[in-house]
Amino acid sequence: MSRLLIVFLSVMLSSVVAQADHHIPNLGEKATEFKDEGKEAHKRDGMSHAASLILQRKMHPELLSHKRDKTLRQGVRGGVVQLSKCVECHTSVDKDGEFIPVNAPDQFCSTCHKKVGTSLDCFSCHRTTPAEEM
Amino acid sequence: MSIIRYEQTQGKSLGFYALIAGLGAFILAALAGVYYMEHNGHHVTGMSNRIVWGLPHVFALFLIVAASGALNVASIASVFQKKIYKPLSRLSGLVALALLAGGLMVLVLDLGRPDRLIVAMTEYNFNSIFAWNIILYNGFFAIVAVYLWMMFERRMNKYSRTVGVAAFTWRLILTTGTGSIFGFLVARQAYDAVMMAPMFVIMSFAFGLAFFILILMASYKWTERQLGDAIVNRLSNLLGVFVAAVLYFVAVYHVGNLYLVENSGVENFILVDGGIYTQLFWYGQIILGSLVPLALLYSPATRGNRTMLGLASVLIIVGGLVQLYVIIIGGQAYPMELFPGKEILEGYGGIAAYTPTLAELMLGLGGIAVSLIAVTYLVKFLPFLPESLADDVADPHHKG
Amino acid sequence: MKELNRRDFIKTTTATTAGVATIASGITLTTYAALPKESNPVTNEKRWGMLIDTNKLTESNIDDMVNACQEEHGWGNETHSTGDQQAGWIKKIKVKDKATERISNLALMCQHCEEPPCVDVCPTNASMKREDGIVLVDKHLCIGCRYCMMACPYDARSFVHESLTNQKTHMPRGKGTVEACTMCVHKVDKGEAPACVASVSSDAVIFGDLYDPTSKINQTLKKVQSTQIRADLNLNTGVRYSGI
Ligand code: SF4
Ligand code: SF4
């Protein structure tokens, strides 16, 4: 039991360290703009911006799946947590001005997911670029 | 009666490795088929929105049904206290587990999202007979494993009867559950029958025993152990009874359906003008899968002949697959009655087309191969098989 | 996001992150100037339904309905799927009465049953009915077993037989999962009518809250004779028909 606990704790620790790694390539078009303007994305009250970002990085799967259940099963619409908004900010644009799917290699989602070796299942169904009319 | 001694098979001969290699090839082919299907999506199969369950389900349900039937031999020994079957109990449990594993593998690999198997294990809808089946399958594994342990471990022997009874009950529920998967589909005329569940139970007896007999005879032949007529002939008789019982249930089921006006359409389809399904039903299921084996088992010319018993068992298995094909695919091919009293001119209806593809077939055969390879390996590592089943060893009343 | 409901939150959070969740709960986001508010969960005080009058519905109306649905949700142009493998959320059906030889045309889609067999059989709770009666597939949970398709008496569901890209933002669809008419839930939640209903200019198709005595659908159902398809199955469908 205690051995399990140690394994568990060290896994947690290493994942926190991985999360704290600030170098994230390819934030995506709008997100980069946002950052360059000096705005603090994902900032939460009572928390430093850096901590908020760690929280966002660490928790985004839970935030998303919590919201997805509410939206799909209870009809709760709107709010901040929406996968389409993630996609909206974090997609990049190629030379021809076309959006690159956010799950394509070296794009925002795939980079980290590949690095930490977790599957990225959202986009087997969800749209990978901002909606056509935008 | 002398003490039964169990012993592992040697598993060193060329034949053993050839068998493993052959089965392994089938499994590899199945995996290739799965990769192809899952990578491209089900459009590369013959399945569609009308035939949503195809050939893999035929194999999967066949194996699952046969699995619970294979446990019968052990049940007869423990529940009904027939001593002569006792030495076969271990093998019976093993075959049951192996067949179930093969069947479940096929079932899972044909899912649209097999990668989400974990969801099926964590999210249960207790109204769903399918979810109940998942529990029943897992429970079957557990209970049979315990049962085997009780039989293997001498100091646990005394509990083996109790566990045997539990296992027997469980397998009855399991097959009823499998049959009910169809029984609950009220809108599909072909499945709308209370007979479905009991018919599945009887089918399981026949298919499971056919598998068991084949495996028993093959393993004794290939390991050059003695297998006396006392046991084989009994099993052969039992098999005949089961096959006849299936035939009887099939007859009752179809006659019963003919009486129900709303189901007469689909009955006509299966029995008279369903093209391939009618042919499969009469030639495959009834003649090849039931009547011929019965003749082989009972006619004086072939009775007691092991080759003929083997042939009969193979035919019963083939016939069983055909039977499930007719039930599963035939039942879907016939359109649902959307507007009773009205004829649909456009938009829905007609007999749905289905042509199974190679990938589906390989996946199904791969399931059988997985079962057989599991048996082949396990009898090598654990003493499942009595070292001899010669008449004077096996039969308490044998007068030599 | 406003206040995160702490209990809900922890419930959906894995053990690993439970600690973080406790820190996070009660903390609000302030970056966005005007925070979009979340709407309230739907309730069972409403039940959405549709009434299709086959006497008024022309064949070209039905084609329009089908096209509007395809346009809205992006189904039906799967490139690899053939024939019966193609998705079909709504279809045009022509029936002839065997006794009177009268022919009627209608549009058939998921009937949004009150007692949906698809929901009963689904092993993972992926098939589900919202409080307001709309039946949906939660594709996050769907394992693609297709049992719901076996159970649906109306042939209303489709299985996605191939990989898809370029889906609509509001309508995620993907290989290996089952889908069906959503009654345009994304529009209904915004207070709009489903795409198929909007595509018919006459009142051949009425959409609304079956329970609301002031709604047009409720009042019409009280006046005209209507029926459910396969009423004998007692599924109490949300989609009703008159004139057949
Ligand atoms: S019509 Fe079919 S898919 Fe729709 S709710 Fe009823 S059973 Fe489910
Ligand atoms: S295919 Fe999906 S929605 Fe349908 S029964 Fe299976 S898991 Fe449920």
In this model, does residue A27 exceed pLDDT 60? yes
CB atoms inside a 10 Å sphere around CB C105? 19
Answer positive or negative: Cα dihedral of C135, C139, C142, C144.
positive
* Long-range contacts of C7-13, Cβ-Cβ distance < 8 Å, separation of 24 or more: C8/A66, C9/A62, C9/A66, C12/A62, C12/A65, C12/A66, C12/A69, C13/A62, C13/A66
What is the pTM for the complete model shown?
0.90
**Do C76 and C150 fall within a single domain?**
yes
What is the structure's pLDDT at C17? 41
**Which residues of chain C have a CB within 8 Å of the CB of A62?**
9, 12-14, 17, 21
Residues A102-112, mean pLDDT to the nearest whole number: 92
Q: Which candidate, B274, B373, B366, B372, places its Cα nearest to that of B325?
A: B274
Is B136 inside any structural domain? Answer: yes
Residues with CB under 6 A from ligand 2: C 121-122, 124, 126-127, 137, 142-148, 178
The pLDDT > 70 percentage for chain B reads 98
Q: How many angstroms separate the CA of residue A57 from the nearest CA in chain C?
A: 12
- Give C210: exposed, middle or buried? Use CB within 10 Å, 0-12, 13-18, 19+: buried
Count how many domains chain C has.
Answer: 2
Using left for φ > 0, alpha for ψ between -120 and 50, and beta otherwise, residue A30 falls in: alpha
**CB environment C126-151: b (16+ within 10 A), e (fewer):** bbbbbebbbbbbbbbbbbbbbbbbbb
Of C86, C96, C150, the CB nearest to B343: C96
**Which residues of chain C have a CB within 8 Å of the CB of B187?**
117, 151-153, 230, 233
For helices B306-325 and B229-259, the axis angle rounded to 10 degrees is 30
Is C41 inside any structural domain? Answer: no
3-class SS string, B185-211 = CCCCHHHCCCCHHHHHHHHHHHHHHHH
Q: Tell me the average confidence (pLDDT) per consecutive run of 10 residues in chain C, 244 residues long.
A: 40 40 43 68 96 96 97 94 95 95 96 97 96 97 97 97 95 97 97 97 96 97 96 96 92
Is B174 inside any structural domain? Answer: yes
Residue B125 sits at the chain C interface (C-beta within 8 Å)? yes
CA–centroid distance, residue C109 to ligand 1 (Å): 9
Minimum Cα–Cα distance from B342: chain C residue: C97
Q: How many angstroms separate the CA of residue C112 from the nearest CA in chain A?
A: 15
Q: How many angstroms separate the CA of residue C207 from the nearest CA in chain B?
A: 23
Name the token pair of B117: 């198997």
DSSP H/E element including B7 = strand B6-7
Of A42, A55, A68, the CB nearest to C140: A68
Which of C146, C150, C158 most suits a substitution to test ligand 2, by most atoms within 8 Å of the C-beta? Answer: C146
Q: How many angstroms separate the CA of residue C142 from the nearest CA in chain B?
A: 8
Contact C31/A78, CB-based, under 8 Å? no
Q: Which candidate, B243, B245, B256, places its Cα nearest to that of B295?
A: B243
Q: Under a CB-based contact definition with an 8 Å cutoff, are residues A64 and A81 in contact?
A: yes
Of the bound ligands, which one is closest to the alpha carbon of residue C146?
A: 2
Of the bound ligands, which one is closest to the alpha carbon of residue C126?
A: 2
- Chain A: touching chains (3 or more CB pairs < 8 Å): C
In this model, does residue B354 exceed pLDDT 60? yes
What is the structure's pLDDT at A25? 65
Is C153 inside any structural domain? Answer: yes
- pLDDT tens column, B141-184: 999 999 999 888 888 888 888 899 999 999 999 998 998 888 88
Mention every residue, 6+ apart, whose C-beta is less than 8 A from residue C75: C69, C87, C88, C89, C158, C173, C179
**Do C62 and C142 fall within a single domain?**
yes
**Do C63 and C106 fall within a single domain?**
yes
Q: Going by CA atoms, what residue is nearest to atom 2 of ligand 1?
A: C152
Q: Under a CB-based contact definition with an 8 Å cutoff, are residues C228 and C240 in contact?
A: yes
Q: Across the strands, what pairs with A78?
A: C38
Minimum Cα–Cα distance from C91: chain B residue: B347
Contact C161/B43, CB-based, under 8 Å? yes
State how far the Cα of B3 lies from the Cα of B386, in Å rounded to an integer: 10
Q: How many angstroms separate the CA of residue B320 from the nearest CA in chain C?
A: 22
The pLDDT > 90 percentage for chain B reads 68
What is the structure's pLDDT at B391? 81
Q: Under a CB-based contact definition with an 8 Å cutoff, are residues B197 and B214 in contact?
A: no
In this model, does residue B370 exceed pLDDT 80? yes
Residue A125 sits at the chain C interface (C-beta within 8 Å)? yes
Name the token pair of C139: 């594709």
- pLDDT tens column, B13-43: 888 999 999 999 999 999 999 999 999 999 9
**Do C193 and C221 fall within a single domain?**
yes
Rg (C-alpha) for chain C, rounded Å, is 20
In this model, does residue A133 exceed pLDDT 60? no
- Give C208: exposed, middle or buried? Use CB within 10 Å, 0-12, 13-18, 19+: buried
Is C92 inside any structural domain? Answer: yes
Is B308 inside any structural domain? Answer: yes
Count how many domains chain B has.
Answer: 1
Is C43 inside any structural domain? Answer: no
Interface test with C, best of B42, B44, B49 (most C CBs within 10 A): B49
Residues A54-67, mean pLDDT to the nearest whole number: 93
Q: Is the CB of C135 under 6 A from ligand 1?
A: yes
**Which residues of chain A have a CB within 8 Å of the CB of C42?**
74-75
Is B61 inside any structural domain? Answer: yes
Mention every residue, 6+ apart, whose C-beta is less than 8 A from residue B236: B213, B297, B303, B304, B309, B312
What is the structure's pLDDT at C11? 41
Q: Going by CA atoms, what residue is nearest to atom 4 of ligand 2?
A: C148
**CB environment C8-34: b (16+ within 10 A), e (fewer):** ebbeebeeebeebbeebbebebebeee
What is the structure's pLDDT at A2? 58
State how far the Cα of B55 lies from the Cα of B59, in Å rounded to an integer: 6
**Which residues of chain C have a CB within 8 Å of the CB of A103?**
none
Q: Going by CA atoms, what residue is nearest to atom 6 of ligand 2?
A: C145
What is the structure's pLDDT at B65? 94
The mean-pLDDT minimum among B74-78, B388-392, C214-218 falls in: B388-392
**Do C88 and C149 fall within a single domain?**
yes
State how far the Cα of B316 lies from the Cα of B305, in Å rounded to an integer: 16
State how far the Cα of B363 lies from the Cα of C146, in Å rounded to an integer: 18
Q: Is the CB of C193 under 6 A from ligand 1?
A: no
Q: How many angstroms separate the CA of residue B88 from the nearest CA in chain C?
A: 36
In the B/C pair of chains, how many CB contacts fall below 8 A? 181
3-state secondary structure of C159: strand
The mean-pLDDT minimum among B12-21, B65-74, B186-195, C203-212 falls in: B186-195
- Quickly tell me which residue has 């003749």 as its tokens: B295
Residue B116 sits at the chain C interface (C-beta within 8 Å)? yes
Q: Which candidate, C152, C143, C86, C165, places its Cα nearest to that of C117?
A: C152
- Chain C: touching chains (3 or more CB pairs < 8 Å): A, B
Which of C89, C135, C178 most suits a substitution to test ligand 1, by most atoms within 8 Å of the C-beta? Answer: C135
Name the token pair of C76: 């039906």
Is C40 inside any structural domain? Answer: no
**CB environment B14-43: b (16+ within 10 A), e (fewer):** eebeebbeebeebbebbeebbebbbebbbb
State how far the Cα of C227 lies from the Cα of A17, in Å rounded to an integer: 63
In this model, does residue A96 exceed pLDDT 60? yes
Residue A43 sits at the chain C interface (C-beta within 8 Å)? yes
The mean-pLDDT minimum among A54-68, B183-197, C6-20 falls in: C6-20
What is the structure's pLDDT at B153? 84
3-state secondary structure of C174: coil
Residue B242: alpha-carbon gap to chain centroid: 13
What is the structure's pLDDT at B156? 80
Parallel/antiparallel/unpaired status of strands C48-53 and C205-209 = antiparallel
What is the structure's pLDDT at A10? 59
ipTM, 2 dp: 0.91
Cα angle value C31/C35/C37 (rounded, 5°): 150
3-state secondary structure of A115: helix
**Which residues of chain C have a CB within 8 Å of the CB of B265?**
none
Length reported for chain A = 134
Is B319 inside any structural domain? Answer: yes
Of residues A44 and C117, the one with the higher pLDDT is C117
Of C96, C99, C145, the CB nearest to B345: C96
Q: How many angstroms separate the CA of residue C173 from the nearest CA in chain B?
A: 13
Is B398 inside any structural domain? Answer: no
Minimum Cα–Cα distance from C24: chain A residue: A55
Is B234 inside any structural domain? Answer: yes
Q: Is the CB of C87 under 6 A from ligand 1?
A: no
**Do C118 and C30 fall within a single domain?**
no
**Do C66 and C123 fall within a single domain?**
yes
DSSP one-letter code for A132:
T
**Which residues of chain C have a CB within 8 Å of the CB of B348?**
91, 93, 108, 155
Domain interval for residue C167: 48-242
**Which residues of chain C have a CB within 8 Å of the CB of B47?**
85, 159, 161
Supply the CATH number for residue B220's domain: 1.20.1630.10
Q: What separation, in Å, do the N-terminal and C-terminal C-alpha atoms of chain C show?
A: 48
What is the structure's pLDDT at A77? 93
Q: Which candidate, B65, B230, B74, B241, places its Cα nearest to that of B145?
A: B74
Strand locations in C88-194 (E): 90-97, 103-109, 127-129, 135-137, 158-159, 178-179
**Do C204 and C93 fall within a single domain?**
yes
Supply the CATH number for residue C166's domain: 3.30.70.20
Q: Across the strands, what pairs with C97?
A: B342
Minimum Cα–Cα distance from B184: chain C residue: C151
What is the structure's pLDDT at C31? 44
**Do C14 and C54 fall within a single domain?**
no
Q: Under a CB-based contact definition with an 8 Å cutoff, are residues B56 and B110 in contact?
A: yes
Which of C124, C139, C150, C161 most suits a substitution to test ligand 2, by most atoms within 8 Å of the C-beta? Answer: C124
- pLDDT tens column, A4-17: 565 556 555 555 55
- Quickly tell me which residue has 């939660």 as its tokens: C138
**Do C29 and C55 fall within a single domain?**
no
Q: Is the CB of C130 under 6 A from ligand 1?
A: no
Domain interval for residue B228: 13-336+350-379
**Do C172 and C223 fall within a single domain?**
yes
Contact C175/B41, CB-based, under 8 Å? yes
